[in-house]
Structure 1
Amino acid sequence: MKRRDNTKDTKDTKMEINLDLPTLYNYYIENGSITCGLSAEQSYFTLNNKQITIISGAIHYFRVPQEYWRDRLKKMRAAGLNAIETYVPWNLHEPQPGVFDFGYGGSDFEKFLDISKFLRTAQEEDLLVIVRPGPYICSEWEFGGLPSWLLREKDMKIRTSDKTFMEHVKRYFTALLEILSEFQFTKGGPIIAFQIENEYGNTKEEDKPIDTDYLKKLKELMISKGIVELLFTSDTPSNGNWGSLPNTLITANFQTKPDVELNLLQEYQPDKPLMVMEYWTGWFDHWTEKHHTRTVKEFSDVYESILKFPASVNMYMFHGGTSWGFMNGANLDDDDGTYQPDTNSYDYDALLNEAGDYTDKYYSVQKLNEKYNDVKTLLPLPPPVTVKVAYDEIKITEQLTINELINNAEHHIKKHNLLPMEMLPINNNTGQSYGYIVYRKKNLTIPCNSYLKIEGKVCDTVMVLIDGKLKTKLLQTQADLDKFGYWKLENGLLNLGDKVYNNATLDIIVENSGRVNYGKLHQFNQKKGLWQGNVSINGVNLCDWEMIPLEFKTNWVQNLKGWHIPRFENGPAIYKGILKITRVSNDSYIYMGAWTKGIVIVNGFVLSRYLKFGPQQTIYLPGPFLKDGDNEILIFEHFIPTTTINFVANPIYANTA
């Protein structure tokens, strides 16, 4: 296999290592003695009774291949950071109630979830850690990190002191905090602080107070489970001080106007140290938007103002990584409530890009940290850039039609009425979380020029087929997203054509494009599939459905049967190509510009969604996901297939705003 690479040397920063300097841990823990942790009892932070300015960056272990954790952490330390910050995703760590995966639970994400190993690696790389365990994390992550099975609880209020919700939180925190408590700084570990929930002030509505009892209960729960390090909340000061608690440090989230935000923060808590918990280094992308970028000067000017204020800072994101598989979140537009799914790339225009490469922002921060941090400790040289290659084009060699894919399904559930994904009696009766669901109705007589109506809105995209043939319009222009088959249209009507169908099978395939991760509390009713009303043909409601979940779990994907020579017909189908590797696997990008919409699966793991309108046109493919020999690359295409799979060595964005 021939490959072209884009290997570059790291930028010459003329760094020299002063071996006479102490490590960070040696500086703050002289003679191995720890008497106290991070303190905010004065106008500045102290750690083990020594003054500290926290210079931190956000990195999410669950968005980075485990094999690259050390590389990314070393790069962060080399930039002069003394801490890193991470969220903890409840939905991955407890995929079913009482079933946990912390790196050894057997889920598809198992290798991403060894949080103990991540924390040990951070400490080995001479970094302190700030943990934001949730239970809600936002993070442009599916449902803000909340498990979808919570939606099965009738009348339960998420992110409140609701008794049922808190029972679920307590079970999860009991398991999680048992692990995290052993990594606290005062126990010899790296964790110096914990967040209580996340931006809770943003849940406030004009006529409703926030549930401060919820924050109190979370704080009490954390303390009862052995958490002794500094606790804090975080919100944007100019949005108000709603999400705070008495006697708990308040931190700030913002991107611009640092003086305004920090002065407000100082008003809220005089004589306390100032900490920017989220200084937004860039921004995230929704599908069909322009790829967000921010100039180095704009970013650096605000960063320098924070350090000069003076305040401690956590850069969100320092390294964004990837929202693998179905894990992207979504927003509801502030103006009209329109659903806005996020891309899988979480590049964020951050200091390290999606693949962990240096950007000009990185070098700017490196210089500013050297200038403003008075505590000098031993820093490593920045590691070299990982090699990126463009593998040779490969051909699609096999296919399964949508009917053949459905025939491979594990569950065919018959119910009188439509059910949303979450209410299906599967996964130990916890429902379907991610992927697609097929609503099938057999033995139909459909006259010519019949109309199918779906009441309410689909959640979130729909393909309609009769006898395996696509009846919805091919997705060809961005304007098509405003029409039948997508989240914007309510009470959609579809003309089924001028043909008469006897004994026909109707399939309505619905995709969960990502649950909303941010907003007011009422916006977290995020059931997926068809559930907002009836489905009818010519005004006659259909009932007695067969519901078929397509979750695309790794074990199922790897055991699909019936592959055959591809026919490349329009409509949903899954296609296979083989990438042969005979030496070391390198990072690459799969270029999806010739395809339309769907998902890409590599060696059984769902890598990413794709949409031809961008802005994300390439899918990051880490080398550790590949193996020596044959690598199966599957593409589940909704509309128009092509005959090859292509690779590039650099990311490509289509600016479509």
Structure 2
Amino acid sequence: MIHSVPRPRLAAALLGLSLAVATLTGSAAPRFAIEGDRFLLDGKPHLIRSGEMHYPRIPREFWRERLRQAKAMGLNTVTTYVFWNLHEPEPGRFDFGGNLDVAAFIRTAKEEGLDVIVRPGPYICTELEFGGFPAWLLRTPGLRVRSMDPRFLSAVERYLHRTHQELAPLLSSRGGPILMMQVENEYGSYGRDRDYMQTIKRQMLDAGFDVPLFTSDGAGPTYFEGGPLPGVTAVINFDGDVADAKASFEHLKTFRPNGPRMVGEYWAGWFDHWGEQHHTTPPERAARTVDWFLDQGISFNLYMFHGGTSFAWMPGANYSRDMPYQPDTTSYDYDAPVDEAGRLTPKFHALREVIGRHLSAGETLPPLPAASAATIAVPRFALGESVSLWDALPALSAPVTTQLPRTMEDLQQNYGFVLYRNTVPADAQGKLSIEEVRDYANVFADGEPRGTLDRRFGERELDAGLKPGQRLDLLVENMGRINFGTRLDEERKGITRSVSVGGRALYDWTHFPLPLSDLSGLRYAKTGAEAPAGPRFWRGGFQLDRVGSTFLDTRGWGKGHVWINGRHLGRYWKIGPQQTLFVPAPWLRQGRNEVVVFDVDGAGGARSLQGLTDPVYETAPDALKPRTK
């Protein structure tokens, strides 16, 4: 005969048994859990006050200072993506050192009293080249990202397992600071493949990520159809004021009546595209909305708390109904509470005041940290040495010959430029046509500039005045692969199909891959007042008695890239809105600092630069007007 046990006594017995097992096995209850509509930290209800910042966009020497700033604003958590494309630059070759040491970043957060939310992707968007996917995925013909393509999933599995090796000791299931992790990223804005989302979830679990999982999607009914998963906490992303917040949570409640309420991304600012206006948002709007979150007991993550910089080749791109291609700027300042140089803004102080009014009993705001070291001005200095791209080619690239023009991916190249070279045939005359340019081409005949083709405007034809027998050079720049929307699989770079002159297709191409990852072989010479037009590397330098961050003023230059002491700062472009490049103090040194500029236009009169204490945002009046060819 089976005797029933009263439920309270049964529950107590089971609890005692679980505690005994935990004692025997040495395990303990996880620090963080999701129970019904609440987050629990150490068994107590917990409200997450988070801000986003990304370790690769912040020099490692600044991590602790930025984290202390987050704590001082009243945040208890920081959120970061994991950047697959930077951690696995080539298949199976991983890099988690230096500025990519994500585990060190998280340990530093813990030391500063902050918990962490990790978003490993594999897709992360974040205005990052190819949405964080490694460019080498596109070398496989027909491969489809964010799908059940087994070639893609095999690469994801390898990446997640390797990332777990770095993060395992830091998971909250082991007493660490990583509270929870996101499955994929805003998939509802991309597709409806439930099998794919379930597979990514399973891969995360199989890799060993045994912390609570969540999905994050835009706050609209259509996004909920593909993004959230059954049994997984769903959080929402949006911007706007209190009215927008209320409407967004009504959408969530209709779709998911139960579960904790959280804003995975509250867009407290916005990013910039080349040629468009610089974005700012009022501090008062962010403060009012965060005040409402706290009144309602809603957890949140400010996107961004500190944006930083998309150095080197990191910026991605978007597209819209009106613009087929919208490349992102190097700066990722985002009009965030902490600016690109690490300075506290009015938005920081407005949010700190609001958060300070909603602290739990016994909780106090930390004092403001000591002010960041002041930015410095660098007096104007000359770049008196140069070498043309044509003369530099032997030191930069080994030529590759094929019958048809090949993409950057066909050439086993991820980023940078490709120079395509041919000779105009004897019977060819008329317009130059390229199908198609990805993303910006400078056209030269016998080394002389003949015009440009800009993917932003869908430009594919140019009346370049070509003559038979002339050397035709097409310098094509990868301006960043699209990082959001359904066109990810199409983002191969360079020339993607064919080139013709007057309707006659050109064959037998010589390619010069130019990743520009090593400029040490360049041989410069002093340059006179009349340097020939065309793409050119310029070199100069300046002396510093005191090191500090600065903003390199690129006004007067055309379009190109800057390196300082061997570090690739990123892209500049005279169309704006960004007219300065942030130079972090740790990348400078007392004494002489060397600057190299690769100017692809070669038509600007600038031969000098200066460092400013503040950034400059100016957009050229005709930046978004297609040119007449």
TM over 0.5: yes
Residue 95 in structure 1 maps to residue 82 in structure 2: no
Three-state SS of the structure 2 residue aligned to 1:197 is coil
For the residues of structure 2 that align with 1:405 and 1:283, how far apart are their CA atoms?
A: 39
For the residues of structure 2 that align with 1:135 and 1:142, how far apart are their CA atoms?
A: 13
1:268 to 239, 255, 271: 255
Residue 361 of structure 1 is matched in structure 2 by 347
Q: CA deviation at 1:220?
A: 1.0
For the residues of structure 1 that align with 2:426 and 2:449, how far apart are their CA atoms?
A: 15
Q: Deviations over 1:238-275 (max 9, x none)?
A: 24312010100000100121111122223333331111
Q: How does 1:224-263 map to 2 (within 5 A)?
A: 224-240=206-222, 241-242=224-225, 243-256=227-240, 257-263=244-250
Q: CA deviation at 1:457?
A: 2.8
Unmatched runs of 5 consecutive residues or more in structure 2: 1-25, 622-629
Q: What is the one-letter code of the residue matched to 2:572? A: Y
Change in CA separation of 1:563 and 1:183 when aligned onto 2, cut-off 3 Å? farther
Contact preservation (8 Å) 1:289, 1:615: yes
Residue 469 of structure 1 is matched in structure 2 by 448
Three-state SS of the structure 2 residue aligned to 1:385 is coil
Residue 107 of structure 1 is matched in structure 2 by none
Q: CA deviation at 1:562?
A: 4.4
Three-state SS of the structure 1 residue aligned to 2:38 is coil
Q: What is the one-letter code of the residue matched to 2:207? A: K
Q: CA deviation at 1:608?
A: 1.5
Contact preservation (8 Å) 1:420, 1:528: yes
Q: CA deviation at 1:92?
A: 0.4
Three-state SS of the structure 2 residue aligned to 1:267 is helix
1:543 to 507, 517, 520: 507
Q: CA deviation at 1:377?
A: 5.4
Give the number of the structure whose alpha-carbon radius of gyration is greater: 2
Residue 143 of structure 1 is matched in structure 2 by 130
Contact preservation (8 Å) 1:130, 1:193: yes
Residue 574 in structure 1 maps to residue 537 in structure 2: yes
Q: What is the one-letter code of the residue matched to 1:460? A: D
For the residues of structure 2 that align with 1:337 and 1:290, how far apart are their CA atoms?
A: 15
2:194 to 207, 212, 216: 212
Residue 495 of structure 2 is matched in structure 1 by 530
Q: How does 1:595-614 map to 2 (within 5 A)?
A: 595-614=557-576
Q: How does 1:121-132 map to 2 (within 5 A)?
A: 121-132=108-119
Identity of aligned residues (%): 37
Contact preservation (8 Å) 1:142, 1:326: yes
Residue 288 of structure 2 is matched in structure 1 by 301
For the residues of structure 2 that align with 1:650 and 1:255, how far apart are their CA atoms?
A: 27
Q: CA deviation at 1:288?
A: 1.0
Contact preservation (8 Å) 1:255, 1:281: yes
Q: What is the one-letter code of the residue matched to 2:441? A: V
Change in CA separation of 1:446 and 1:617 when aligned onto 2, cut-off 3 Å? farther
Residue 495 in structure 1 maps to residue 464 in structure 2: yes
For the residues of structure 2 that align with 1:45 and 1:154, how far apart are their CA atoms?
A: 44
Q: Relative to structure 2, which stretch is displaced further, 175-184 or 564-573? A: 564-573
Q: Deviations over 1:349-371 (max 9, x none)?
A: 11001111101110111111111
1:561 to 514, 523, 526: 523
Residue 460 of structure 1 is matched in structure 2 by 439
1:439 to 420, 434, 456: 420
1:510 to 473, 476, 490: 476
For the residues of structure 1 that align with 2:115 and 2:600, how far apart are their CA atoms?
A: 45
For the residues of structure 2 that align with 1:310 and 1:38, how far apart are their CA atoms?
A: 18
1:647 to 599, 602, 611: 611
Q: Deviations over 1:436-457 (max 9, x none)?
A: 0000125x4668x943422333
Residue 50 of structure 2 is matched in structure 1 by 56
2:556 to 594, 597, 615: 594
Q: Deviations over 1:498-526 (max 9, x none)?
A: xx564x42211000001000002x44310
For the residues of structure 1 that align with 2:155 and 2:364, how far apart are their CA atoms?
A: 43
Q: How does 1:53-452 map to 2 (within 5 A)?
A: 53-103=47-97, 111-204=98-191, 210-240=192-222, 241-242=224-225, 243-256=227-240, 257-333=244-320, 335-336=321-322, 338-375=324-361, 376=363, 379-424=366-411, 431-442=412-423, 444=424, 450-452=429-431
Change in CA separation of 1:619 and 1:491 when aligned onto 2, cut-off 3 Å? closer
Q: What is the one-letter code of the residue matched to 1:223? A: L
Q: CA deviation at 1:561?
A: 2.5
For the residues of structure 2 that align with 1:64 and 1:363, how far apart are their CA atoms?
A: 21
For the residues of structure 2 that align with 1:359 and 1:369, how far apart are their CA atoms?
A: 16
For the residues of structure 2 that align with 1:644 and 1:366, how far apart are their CA atoms?
A: 41
Q: What is the one-letter code of the residue matched to 1:402? A: L
Three-state SS of the structure 2 residue aligned to 1:167 is helix
For the residues of structure 2 that align with 1:388 and 1:337, how far apart are their CA atoms?
A: 36
Change in CA separation of 1:488 and 1:593 when aligned onto 2, cut-off 3 Å? same
User: Paired residues, what number?
Assistant: 587
Q: CA deviation at 1:61?
A: 0.3
Three-state SS of the structure 2 residue aligned to 1:549 is strand
Three-state SS of the structure 1 residue aligned to 2:248 is helix
Q: What is the one-letter code of the residue matched to 1:472? A: G
Unmatched runs of 5 consecutive residues or more in structure 1: 1-31, 104-110, 205-209, 425-430, 474-483
Q: Deviations over 1:181-215 (max 9, x none)?
A: 221123232100100000000013xxxxx111111
Contact preservation (8 Å) 2:77, 2:115: yes
Residue 14 of structure 2 is matched in structure 1 by none
Residue 13 of structure 1 is matched in structure 2 by none
Three-state SS of the structure 1 residue aligned to 2:572 is strand
For the residues of structure 1 that align with 2:608 and 2:372, how far apart are their CA atoms?
A: 29
Three-state SS of the structure 1 residue aligned to 2:460 is strand
Contact preservation (8 Å) 2:74, 2:365: no
Contact preservation (8 Å) 1:75, 1:383: no
For the residues of structure 2 that align with 1:527 and 1:86, how far apart are their CA atoms?
A: 27
Three-state SS of the structure 1 residue aligned to 2:616 is coil
For the residues of structure 1 that align with 2:370 and 2:468, how far apart are their CA atoms?
A: 64
Q: CA deviation at 1:121?
A: 0.7
Q: Deviations over 1:148-178 (max 9, x none)?
A: 1111112221111211110010111111112
Three-state SS of the structure 2 residue aligned to 1:386 is coil
Q: What is the one-letter code of the residue matched to 1:571? A: G
Contact preservation (8 Å) 1:79, 1:382: no
Three-state SS of the structure 2 residue aligned to 1:530 is strand
Q: What is the one-letter code of the residue matched to 1:213? A: D
Q: What is the one-letter code of the residue matched to 2:513? A: P
For the residues of structure 2 that align with 1:580 and 1:559, how far apart are their CA atoms?
A: 24
For the residues of structure 1 that align with 2:572 and 2:524, how far apart are their CA atoms?
A: 25
Three-state SS of the structure 1 residue aligned to 2:390 is helix
Residue 11 of structure 1 is matched in structure 2 by none
Q: CA deviation at 1:230?
A: 1.0
Q: CA deviation at 1:569?
A: 3.3
For the residues of structure 2 that align with 1:356 and 1:142, how far apart are their CA atoms?
A: 24
Q: CA deviation at 1:597?
A: 1.0
Q: What is the one-letter code of the residue matched to 2:493? A: K
